[in-house]
Amino acid sequence: AEFGLRLLMEAGCRRIALNACHLAGQLEDWTAALPARFPGVTFSCHRETELLGTGGGLRAMLEQLPPGPVLVHNGDVIHDCPLKRLCDADPNRARLLVQQAPCVVEVDQGRVLGFRDPLRSTHGFAGVHWMGQAFRARLLDCRQADLIESWQEMQLEGWVIQAEHHTGLWEDLGRVGDYLPLHVRLGASEDYHALCRRLELKPDWDDTLEVSASALESHPDWRTTVLWPGARWTGASLESIITCQTPGSGTLKGEIVL
């Protein structure tokens, strides 16, 4: 979420809303602390009491926001595309950020022709899109839980969706099983480190956190874990761990030190 937040502010966004269902309480607490960090930016968090789908959740949040163009960023993707490239003065259009895979979007000469045709799709949706006010207003009348199905309905009516092709850094954080190997790839990626420098982004986790055997009596062994800078551990056996220059003592097995 922090990467998306910084990229939206870099693009000039000064009103930022988060939509949350899973871990909503944690995201609400995180959002509540943002105004002190970023004066001049208005933040809000909108909770889904039940999962509404990509289309339903977005519509529910948009109904609570003032009119105008909207830049939408999925919370589980990391990329280095400057988002001003997506913004368009035409209120009747939308523009999607696309990349090479997985292929679910058919694009020809910068225009989206269709979705989810395995024989015709040429690009993947990168989880970021912009829409003008008129396009947004029409989207609010759609009823599909799936956002792509709403776009398909609007395309049949003649609404234009454009594509912005991104060839740089792009990673999807949405799958739990990919979390550990993703940190390996990002740690070795100069594009990722360049993005962190560009966004002035660095970890701000509690640097007094201590992970000790006494605090983890029911889980004395750590496996498949990422320890961020500032974390410390004592007396625990660690296996398949990524540590980020993390001080500590104990037994490491299969670790990757960044």
- What does residue 18 show for φ and ψ, rounded to 5 degrees? -110, 135
pLDDT at position 114 over 90: yes
pTM score > 0.95 for this model?
no
Domains along the chain with CATH numbers: 2-171 (3.90.550.10), 203-258 (no CATH)
What is the three-class DSSP state of 5?
Answer: helix
Q: Using CA atoms, how far apart are residues 134 and 88, in angstroms rounded to an integer?
A: 12
Question: How many other C-beta atoms are found inside a 10 Å radius of the C-beta of residue 119?
Answer: 5
DSSP 188: T
pLDDT for position 201: 82
Do 122 and 110 meet the contact criterion of CB atoms below 8 Å apart? no
Amino acid in position 152: Q
Percent of the chain with pLDDT over 70: 78
DSSP 123: B
Half-sphere exposure of 56 (CA within 13 A, CB side): 12
Q: Using CA atoms, how far apart are residues 145 and 60, in angstroms rounded to an integer?
A: 11
Q: What is the pLDDT of residues 42-67, one digit of tens each?
A: 999 999 888 889 999 999 999 999 99
User: Confidence band (pLDDT; 50, 70, 90) for 215?
Assistant: very low
